[in-house]
Structure 1
Amino acid sequence: MTTFVATSNPLPSALKVGLSRTVLETKQFFREREQLIFTFFFPVIFLAIFSAVFSSDDFFDGKVTAATYFTPGMIASGIFLTSFQSLAITIAMERDEALLKRLRGTPMSPQAYFIGKIGLVLVTSIAQLALLLAISSLLLGVELPTSTEKWLNFVWIFFLGTASGSVLGIAFSVVPKSGKAASAVVTPVVLMLQFISGVYFVYNALPEWMRTVAEVFPLKWLAQGMRSVFLPDGFEVNEVSGSWQLGTGAIVLTAWLVVGLVLCQRYFRWTRDDSI
């Protein structure tokens, strides 16, 4: 008599599922033409506008051009838009459209879903960054860093800023009450942080109380870190503190990353509060 023993294949790890989800999310992103254009060209267009408007201004006694000074801020802003704003809005919309509810019925864990979203942010941020740097250097005369140290700083600032922005976007996605309200809730928050964090203005020229508020949030430190990479050596004397404060920036970004992870684990929901 033959005995059959039931066997079951173990479920794939959260990392494996998350990477597969990244591939799917990326394919879907590049099929959305409007979202693609906004994500890739918004920082480029703003950099071109600021470079043209302030082309005749004397930036720091002629030490840098307007394009050179505003490039780090636009890079930081692009990272924040792609991570925080994009995820906060799209996840709220996916929740409203019951897509997350359907995903909840699958073996996919929240961790795998998070990995998929963060993977998408990394792919799109790198592509956006490559485009921005190419246009700024080839068309706007921005000189790219030549030292290994600056590029190493760029790498850790980029990845830490992307990671913290992503988890905060996932966590903030529970704030809008509906997908339709997501943009109206998230966009003003991002605009406020851009204005007080030295993205659209020379940071030193901002009122002291604005700078004090900005120091609490990650975008200020992301923008300042990028200035340390793309502005000339010795330019840190023009900062409020007289230094780039890379250590402090790393601590603040890491703290927000940890806070975002805790909030994601505690408050992330697959469905709206009013859903049945």
Structure 2
Amino acid sequence: MTTSHRTGHPSVLLLGLHRGVLELKVFFREWDAVAFTFALPVVTLALLGSIVTGVYPGSDVTSAQYLAPSMTAAGIAATTFVNLGAGIAGDRDDGTLRRLRGTPMPPAAYVLGKTVQTMVVVAAETVLLLAVGTVLFALRLPTDPGRWLTFGWVFLLGSTACSLLGIAVSSVIRSARSAGAATQLPNLVLAFISGIYFTPVSALPQPLLVLGSVFPLKWMAQGFRSAMLPDTILGAEVVSNWEHGRTALVLAAWCIGGLLLCLTTFRWRGRRYR
């Protein structure tokens, strides 16, 4: 019998799931935030996909189809890293975290609740982006279960890494007013150096290719392309194989590093309460 059962208190997992439901209700009540979260990657994909043209040599994949998996990765990064970082910074700035610390709810339940809310939103956003790619640009969804398995583990590791980094970056944000700039700017820079807006990614200058390969967004986008596009498109990549082993290793390393950053830097009180 667990301690929570002996004392009559619910477990951290149960409290976290309840907190996640509450976070989802709060999120979907703010229609402007909902619209921006879902519309930004969809509109970006629709606009860029309409601008870029051509078919890659040796493949029947169009530039717009090549862009769709990369934009899916960018949407996940924006929803996890940007929204989670800014949201927690806002909760800290307005005293929500300080008040929660005075309740019986463990701190881990709050983090779990935020993570549950974020994962539900990114899952819905991913489905929407794939639907837009399929309808507007004839993106062919894979029929091989192995490709969907690849998509699944890349999604899980990538969104976990970006979520943990979002939680960690919230601790360096001084106030809710600066949260947008403090998260949007690095996210935009990472999107560019990770080749999100370049078709093909091999068109990036070599120094940016090297720099982008350090961060998880590049590998998440590459993993999604490996799952959603045929191998005939490999000529447009930097290397001649999808590097699944390296992708898993880098994303897992960022998950571990992000967790360590959260444990060592996370603050429950804003600076003005110290």
Partners of 1:60 and 1:47 in 2: CA distance: 22
- 1:184 is matched with which residue: 145, 156, 181? 181
How far off is 1:122 after superposition? Answer: 1.1
SS in 2 for 1:216: coil
| Residue 91 of structure 1 pairs with residue 83 of structure 2 | no
Matches within 5 A, 1:123-272: 123-201=120-198, 202-272=200-270
Partners of 2:107 and 2:247 in 1: CA distance: 29
Match in the other structure for 1:105: 102
Which structure would you say has the larger Rg? 1
What amino acid maps onto 1:27 in structure 2? K
TM-score (ref. length: structure 1): 0.93
Equivalent residues of 1:237, 1:243 under 8 A apart: no
Instruction: Describe the shift of the 1:66–1:237 C-alpha distance in structure 2 as closer, same or farther (beyond 3 A).
Output: closer
Deviations 1:105-149 (Å, cap 9, x if unpaired)? 112222111111111111101111111112221232111111111
How far off is 1:260 after superposition? Answer: 1.1
Equivalent residues of 2:164, 2:255 under 8 A apart: yes
Partners of 2:107 and 2:203 in 1: CA distance: 43
Number of matched pairs: 268
Match in the other structure for 1:68: 65
What amino acid maps onto 2:76 in structure 1? I
What amino acid maps onto 2:44 in structure 1? F
SS in 2 for 1:92: helix
Partners of 2:258 and 2:211 in 1: CA distance: 19
Partners of 2:232 and 2:11 in 1: CA distance: 47
| Residue 50 of structure 1 pairs with residue 48 of structure 2 | yes
- Structure 1 vs Structure 2 CA RMSD: 1.4
- 1:26 is matched with which residue: 17, 24, 27? 24
Deviations 1:177-196 (Å, cap 9, x if unpaired)? 11101111111100000001
Partners of 2:66 and 2:239 in 1: CA distance: 18
SS in 2 for 1:139: helix
Partners of 1:58 and 1:152 in 2: CA distance: 27
SS in 1 for 2:141: coil
Which runs of 5 or more structure 2 residues have no equivalent in the other structure? 1-5
Partners of 1:140 and 1:234 in 2: CA distance: 18
Partners of 1:144 and 1:61 in 2: CA distance: 20
Which runs of 5 or more structure 1 residues have no equivalent in the other structure? 1-7
Partners of 2:45 and 2:191 in 1: CA distance: 14
Equivalent residues of 1:221, 1:249 under 8 A apart: yes
Equivalent residues of 2:70, 2:224 under 8 A apart: yes
Q: Relative to structure 2, which stretch is displaced further, 17-26 or 237-246?
A: 237-246
SS in 2 for 1:12: coil
Q: Relative to structure 2, which stretch is displaced further, 67-76 or 237-246?
A: 237-246
How far off is 1:58 after superposition? Answer: 4.2
What amino acid maps onto 1:154 in structure 2? F
How far off is 1:155 after superposition? Answer: 0.6
Q: Relative to structure 2, which stretch is displaced further, 76-85 or 108-117?
A: 108-117
How far off is 1:59 after superposition? Answer: 3.5
Equivalent residues of 1:50, 1:66 under 8 A apart: no
Match in the other structure for 1:5: none
